[in-house]
Structure 1
Amino acid sequence: MTPERIYHGTGPGPITPDGCAVDYYATLTAGGEPELVHAAVPPGASILELGAGTGRVTRPLLRLGHEVVAVDESPEMLAHITGAETVCSPIQTLALPRAFDLVLLMSFVVETADDALRAAFLRTCRRHVADDGCVILQRKPPEWYDTVRPFERRTDDGRIVRMTAVSRPGPGLLEATMEYTIGERRWTHTFVSRRLDDDRLGRELDRTGLALAGFLDDEREWVRAVPAGPPYQG
């Protein structure tokens, strides 16, 4: 499945290669994710945040006392981040000369429908995590893929979030279009994601020298993995 079939975005302002609207992401704030991550690592742990976007989670992690290196392939996204070292790079080709206590891959990036790209993401995680560190991944609980339907949600700050289309183009795949409206501004983001149950995710982690070590929440959305072998060399 080619990248142009996996991601597509529309709306005012810059749109990233994976279809995300920079101007919309710049309006978002964290919803408890930084505290969840903070509680799972030692105080002051160094963090490599992959796919940091506009810094929605970066800024709170800095305030919680962490050194954060924020990585994103969009310079327009990174321009919104202050106080952290930023690196403009695709996740899959990142090669920094250091390791981190925590490598963080949020926002369901790991669920890309491109299996080769997901493997490259995981190799980047293993390459940059310290031997005594951990990797935290965010995925949708597998059951979500079986039940999700179009919806509309209105938030307290006046924005409208809609899922306007849902289809299942193949086994374990979900194609959906999200629509975000703030006043007169409207953005869409179409994506194709792959359902990652515990067994499949465990196997894919194993192939990159990582091991599934548990979950940070009862819903199993936040996955913790640890080094279990040398970084993948293939």
Structure 2
Amino acid sequence: MTNPTARHAGHRGTGPGAKTPDGCAVDLYARLKAGREPDVIAAAIPAGATLLELGCGAGRVTEPLAARGFRVTAVDESAEMLERVRDRAPAARTVHAPIEDLDLGERFDAVTLASFLVHTVDDRQRAALLAACRRHVRADGCVLIEREGPDWHTNRSLPHERHDEAAGCTTRVVSAEPAGDGRLRMRMEYVWPDATWAHEFFSRPLTEEAFEGHLDAAGLAVDRYLTDDGVWVRAVPV
């Protein structure tokens, strides 16, 4: 069993309500709405596919995918997050487990690893995340990964903010400070009229070459980049 304290060292969240081991606020993620993710995922896999969603959070993507007829198994290490998933997407199956330890003994048409989880600063954890993807995907299936774009940190002035009309909040990247060994210490803020949450965490930027190298080590290969910004990637088993 992985140690959540070690895996999430230095991650911290502030604001109302319960927090997950990596500092994410459950009430915050319950408010957030899906963006383009359901459209990107749905366009890359067959209708009615079985889908393993790793790190589902409070179900903001689970809900629209289940509503489109995909047979979703939603995994998260936070029991509080999964309670929200069951409320939002009762048709989805939920599994309470760390991704790295997951072994359901079954394979899926598609596996998703979103929320930039592939950018963990720990190479061993990244390898474990990708190994979980590989052992759960069918031989003719695919793994859909969300990664940071090539200019995610370098081509923008900070603080950088945008207003999310659907969610009714302002999302602000406050800082991205070098923290040694190629890591960045990130601070994000999410501001609603009635509440504010902040999340501090570490991230490791990956070049396209490095990203594809990690996939290769896990027995996966890029099939194609799904979005013009290179953020969403379709990988296949090799």
TM-score after normalising by structure 1: 0.92
Question: Structure 1 residues 101-110 or 6-15, which shifts more?
Answer: 6-15
Alignment-mate amino acid for residue 185 of structure 2: E
Q: Following the alignment from structure 2 to structure 1, what is the Cα–Cα distance between the partners of residues 125 and 81?
A: 21
SS state at 2:198 partner: strand
**Matched length:** 227
Q: State the partner residue of 1:209.
A: 219
Deviation (angstroms), 1:159: 2.1
Gaps of 5+ in 1: 229-234
Alignment-mate amino acid for residue 70 of structure 2: H
Residue correspondence of structure 1 range 82-121 to structure 2 within 5 A = 82-121=90-129
Q: State the partner residue of 1:56.
A: 60
SS state at 2:151 partner: helix
Alignment-mate amino acid for residue 60 of structure 1: P
Question: Structure 1 residues 42-51 or 190-199, which shifts more?
Answer: 190-199
Deviation (angstroms), 1:146: 2.0
SS state at 1:140 partner: coil
Distance 1:15 1:58, change over 3 A: same
Q: Following the alignment from structure 1 to structure 2, what is the Cα–Cα distance between the partners of residues 37 and 191?
A: 26
Distance 1:4 1:227, change over 3 A: closer
SS state at 2:153 partner: helix
Residue correspondence of structure 1 range 220-231 to structure 2 within 5 A = 220-228=230-238
Distance 1:155 1:136, change over 3 A: closer
Alignment-mate amino acid for residue 90 of structure 1: P
Q: State the partner residue of 1:67.
A: 71
1:7 matched to 2:16? The reply is: no
Gaps of 5+ in 2: 1-5
Deviation (angstroms), 1:74: 0.3
Distance 1:27 1:131, change over 3 A: same
Equivalent in 133, 156, 159 of residue 150 of structure 1? 159
Alignment-mate amino acid for residue 186 of structure 2: A
SS state at 1:83 partner: coil
* Contact in 2 for aligned 1:72/1:90 (Cα 8 Å): yes
* Contact in 1 for aligned 2:54/2:99 (Cα 8 Å): yes
Alignment-mate amino acid for residue 191 of structure 1: F
Identity of aligned residues (%): 48
